[in-house]
Structure 1
Amino acid sequence: MKVTRLSSKGQIIIPKALRAAHNWEAGQEFTAVDVGDGILLKPKKPFPEKTLAQVAGCLKYRGQPKSLDEIEDAIRQGVMEQWHDRVDTRE
């Protein structure tokens, strides 16, 4: 754990090792979140958050629309494959 200090101008220096580990450079913007006994600094996302309705249709799909059951089956299969791969790497 690194120790840093609040300046008279309200600035805090993020230690170089942490900046390097997260690829943060001068000018990086953060949001400050009050978490009760401290704050959480989160790097600001390059694009504003969008809702599904705002982005639905931006990627064209050619083919028969999938049913909700087909989508859920595909998700279930993907989860099982990831779980299986994780178990195999631990053995």
Structure 2
Amino acid sequence: MANARQTTVLSTKGQVILPKAIREHRRWSPGTRLIVEETTDGVLLRREPALEPTTLDQVSGMLKYDGPPATVEEMDEAVAEMFRREYDRD
């Protein structure tokens, strides 16, 4: 999407309508939660993450597995197989 300059109007309720081209480019549908951040250049809008960021320590061990550890090669092959099933549709 080209950085074409577009304008909008602030309503009496403080609402701003984002131009359709921007909403479509960003894939922001009605109900999308946005983070509003004031910067030195103006106001920045970013999509709110679906999940709060976590660290490895917070999630380590959440999915239990009792079998032998898989090798890197086995994991790579499993991922490749999943992509073949999901995306190699003719």
Provide the TM-score with structure 2 as the length reference.
0.60
Task: Tell me whether 1:12 sits opposite 2:52 in the alignment.
Answer: no
Q: Cα RMSD (Å) of the superposition?
A: 2.1
Letter in 2 for 1:45: P
Asked if residue 62 in structure 1 is aligned to residue 69 in structure 2, the reply is yes
Percent sequence identity is 36
> 1:31-52 CA deviation, whole Å, 9 max, x = no partner?
1111123111110111111122
What is the Cα deviation at residue 55 of structure 1?
2.0
Match of 1:21 among 12, 19, 25: 25
More helix by share: 1
**Of 35, 46, 62, the match for 1:31:** 35
d(CA) in 2 for partners of 1:27, 1:18: 15
Task: For structure 1, list consecutive stretches of 5 or more residues without a partner in the other structure.
Answer: 65-91
Structure 1 residue identity aligned to 2:38: D
Question: What secondary structure sits across from 1:54 in the alignment?
Answer: helix
Ranges in structure 2 where 5+ consecutive residues have no aligned partner: 72-90
